[in-house]
Amino acid sequence: MGRGDGGAGAGSDGGRGGDGGGEEEEEEAPARSGDGAAASSSSSGEPGKQPPAAEPAPVATVKKGQKRARQPRFAFMTKSEIDHLEDGYRWRKYGQKAVKNSPFPRSYYRCTNSKCTVKKRVERSSDDPSVVITTYEGQHCHHTASFQRGTGGAAVAAHIHGAAAVALAEQMSAFVSAPPQLPQPQRLLYSLPRLHPQVNPPSSETVNSMSTSLQELNNGEGLQRPSYSPQAAEAGHRRPPRPPPPSVATAVSFDKGLLDDIVPPGVRLG
DNA sequence: CGACTTTGACCCGCGC
DNA sequence: GCGCGGGTCAAAGTCG
């Protein structure tokens, strides 16, 4: 790790915009400048830039006011021992960087589907190592294509480390079922009021303990923040007296469209 | 043999 | 203008 290893920091979103395509990522992802080129469109051709937001900390939510228009992002925190939670899709790790905010490295995954440009960022919370922060970017243009190699996809997500997968799907479906009235282009984050009964009893205590900071990974414009804030999250950091479940999704921020794509049909049900 | 993970280097945007 | 830091690519290595 040449540079990144040394430090990290927080401030800038930096990077060559992954796939600054907004909703037009039809390109086949050119060799190397693929992403870079795409970024260019947003760097100079996209007037409607957006703030970083990739920051786990709300502080950077509204830095300059704009950066580059990227694909919608959705972050959720999951209490799990495993970093990479199964969600029914196949991901290929393409990078890892150390972040200053946390002693844990951040991993970058990409959907293995060549036609799918969805990316996933996984990092552990510096406050609570048991909490994994997963950030999805983009929308799957295919269904759970994880069966390509029989490695198991939705089926896996159905039970495996499953708590997380199920909980996640549960949350997603919950949001989809109860679509809020928010502007299409905008993304909001919601707190998960309940979890899968099999995974984790919806006890107020548990939920409370699970309440964590939801990062709005979009421009704060017109966005409504949940009643609980990062500060509240910290308050909820106190772990419950009893042993926590294998994995539990704590918070979610999704887009209707993405949910529909991300959540494996088999897992989504409810 | 193919797919995936790991690791180093490079690029780009932002802040100072 | 420089430095910092994040994000991505590509080559090599490992595993199934």
Report phi then psi at A61, rounded to 5. -55, -50
- A193-197 CB contacts, 8 Å cutoff, 24+ apart: A194/A170, A195/A167, A195/A170, A195/A171, A195/A248, A195/A249, A196/A163, A196/A166, A196/A167, A196/A170
Task: Determine the 3-state secondary structure of A35 from DSSP.
Answer: helix
pLDDT at residue A144 is higher than 60: yes
Angstrom distance, A93 CA to C14 C1': 14
Angstrom distance, A208 CA to C3 C1': 42
Are A136 and A262 a contacting pair, CB within 8 Å?
Answer: yes
How far apart are the C-alpha atoms of A212 and A173, rounded to whole Å? Answer: 20
Q: Which nucleotides along chain C are within 7 A of a protein C-beta?
A: 3-10
Q: Structure pTM?
A: 0.55
Q: What is the separation of C-alpha A64 from the centre of its chain, rounded to a whole number of angstroms?
A: 23
Q: DSSP letters along A80-115, please?
A: ES-SS---SS-EEEEEEEE-SS-SSEEEEEEES-TT
Angstrom distance, A10 CA to C4 C1': 9
The C-alpha angle with vertex A234 and arms to A231 and A236, in degrees rounded to 5, equals 115
Q: Which residue is nearest to nucleotide B9 (CA to C1')?
A: A2
- Listed in sequence order, the residues at least 6 apart from A87 whose beta carbon sits closer than 8 Å to its beta carbon are A157, A165, A168, A169, A262, A263, A264, A267
Q: Which nucleotides along chain B are within 7 A of a protein C-beta?
A: 3-15
What is the rounded average pLDDT for all residues in chain A? 49
Q: Which two tokens stand for residue A57?
A: 């900390």
Q: Which nucleotide is nearest to A9 (CA to C1')?
A: C5
Question: For A22-70, what is each residue's pLDDT tens digit?
Answer: 333 333 333 333 333 333 333 333 333 333 333 333 333 333 333 444 5
**Where are the domains positioned within chain A?**
84-137
CATH number corresponding to A84-137: 2.20.25.80
Element at A173 (helix H, strand E): helix A163-177
Angstrom distance, A180 CA to C15 C1': 45
Question: For A101-135, what is each residue's pLDDT tens digit?
Answer: 677 888 999 888 777 778 888 888 877 778 888 88
Count CA atoms closer than 13 A to A257's CA, side-chain side: 17
pLDDT at residue A93 is higher than 70: yes
Residue with the larger pLDDT of the pair A141 and A120: A120
Report phi then psi at A267, rounded to 5. -90, -30
Angstrom distance, A111 CA to C15 C1': 20
For residue A16, what are the CA distances in angstroms to A7, A54, A100? Answer: 18, 14, 19
For the segment 135-174 of chain A, residues whose CB is within 7 A of strand B:
148-149
